[in-house]
Amino acid sequence: MHGGGGTSSDHKEKFAFMKQQPPILITGGAGFIGSNFVLEWFDSGRSAGSEARSNPLVNVDKLTYAGNPRNLERLSGRPDYRFVHADICDRPRMERLLQEERPRAILHFAAESHVDRSIMGPDAFVETNVRGTFVLLDAARAYWASLGDEERKSFRFIHVSTDEVYGSLGPDDPAFTETTAYAPNSPYSATKAGSDHLVRSYFHTYGLPTIITNCSNNYGPLQFPEKLIPLMITHAVAGKPLPIYGDGLNVRDWLYVTDHCEALRMVLERGRPGETYNIGGRNERSNREVVEAICEILDELRPGSSYRPHRQLMQFVKDRPGHDRRYAINAAKLEQEIGWRARETFATGLRKTVQWYLDHAGWVEDVVTGGYQQWIQQNYGERSRA
Ligand X SMILES: NC(=O)c1ccc[n+]([C@@H]2O[C@H](COP(=O)([O-])OP(=O)(O)OC[C@H]3O[C@@H](n4cnc5c(N)ncnc54)[C@H](O)[C@@H]3O)[C@@H](O)[C@H]2O)c1
Q: What amino acid positions are annotated as catalytic residues?
A: 163-164, 188
Residue 116 beta carbon to ligand X: minimum distance, rounded to whole angstroms? 12
Interacting residue with ligand X among 217, 276, 353, 379 (CB under 6 A): 217
Among the listed ranges 16-24, 46-54, 217-225, 270-278, the one in contact with ligand X (CB under 6 A) is 217-225
Residue 32 beta carbon to ligand X: minimum distance, rounded to whole angstroms? 4
Question: Sign of the CA dihedral 100, 111, 274, 336?
Answer: positive
Residue 224 beta carbon to ligand X: minimum distance, rounded to whole angstroms? 5
Interacting residue with ligand X among 88, 137, 193, 228 (CB under 6 A): 88
* H or E element at residue 158: strand 156-162
The reply on whether position 113 binds ligand X by CB under 6 A is: yes
Smaller CB distance to ligand X: residue 226 or 299? Answer: 226
What string marks each residue from 170 to 209 as x (binds ligand X by CB under 6 A) or -?
----------------------x-----------------
Smaller CB distance to ligand X: residue 41 or 307? Answer: 41
Interacting residue with ligand X among 97, 165, 215, 338 (CB under 6 A): 215
Contacts of 63 (CB under 8 A, 6+ apart): 30, 69, 85, 376, 380
The reply on whether position 83 binds ligand X by CB under 6 A is: no
Among the listed ranges 48-56, 166-174, 210-218, 285-293, the one in contact with ligand X (CB under 6 A) is 210-218
Report yes or no: 90 and 137 within 8 Å, Cβ to Cβ.
Answer: no
Distance, in Å, from the CA atom of 274 to the CA atom of 199, rounded to the nearest integer, reads 9
Among the listed ranges 167-175, 202-210, 216-224, 322-330, the one in contact with ligand X (CB under 6 A) is 216-224
Interacting residue with ligand X among 80, 87, 196, 259 (CB under 6 A): 87
Question: Which residues between 120 and 149 bind ligand X (CB under 6 A)?
Answer: 128, 132
Smaller CB distance to ligand X: residue 32 or 307? Answer: 32
Distance, in Å, from the CA atom of 144 to the CA atom of 206, rounded to the nearest integer, reads 10
Q: Is 145 exposed, middle or buried (0-12, 13-18, 19+ CB in 10 A)?
A: exposed
Question: Which residues between 43 and 72 bind ligand X (CB under 6 A)?
Answer: 61-64, 66-67
* H or E element at residue 258: helix 257-270
Among the listed ranges 43-51, 160-168, 235-243, 287-295, the one in contact with ligand X (CB under 6 A) is 160-168
Which DSSP string corresponds to 322-383? Answer: T---B--B--HHIIIII-------HHHHHHHHHHHHHHTHHHHHHHHTTHHHHHHHHHHTTP
Smaller CB distance to ligand X: residue 128 or 234? Answer: 128
The reply on whether position 110 binds ligand X by CB under 6 A is: yes
The reply on whether position 298 binds ligand X by CB under 6 A is: no
Interacting residue with ligand X among 111, 293, 297, 367 (CB under 6 A): 111
Distance, in Å, from the CA atom of 267 to the CA atom of 215, rounded to the nearest integer, reads 13
The reply on whether position 258 binds ligand X by CB under 6 A is: no
Report yes or no: 208 and 157 within 8 Å, Cβ to Cβ.
Answer: yes
Smaller CB distance to ligand X: residue 4 or 313? Answer: 4
What string marks each residue from 15 to 34 as x (binds ligand X by CB under 6 A) or -?
------------xx-xxxxx
Question: Sign of the CA dihedral 46, 52, 55, 59?
Answer: negative
CA distances (Å), origin 197, targets 113, 119, 155, 175, 179 = 17, 22, 20, 21, 13
Amino acid, single-letter form, for residue 302: R
Residue, CB closest to ligand X: 31
105 Cα distance to chain centroid: 17
Distance, in Å, from the CA atom of 99 to the CA atom of 345, rounded to the nearest integer, reads 42
Print the SS3 string covering 273-297: CCCEEEECCCCEEEHHHHHHHHHHH
Number of residues forming the site for ligand X (CB under 6 A)? 31
- Closest Cα partner for 161 from 140, 139, 144, 178? 178
Count of other CB atoms within 10 angstroms of residue 20: 9
Among the listed ranges 38-46, 213-221, 262-270, 313-321, the one in contact with ligand X (CB under 6 A) is 213-221
Query: In the complex, which residues of this chain contact ligand X (CB under 6 A)?
Result: 27-28, 30-34, 61-64, 66-67, 87-89, 109-113, 128, 132, 160-162, 192, 215, 217-218, 224
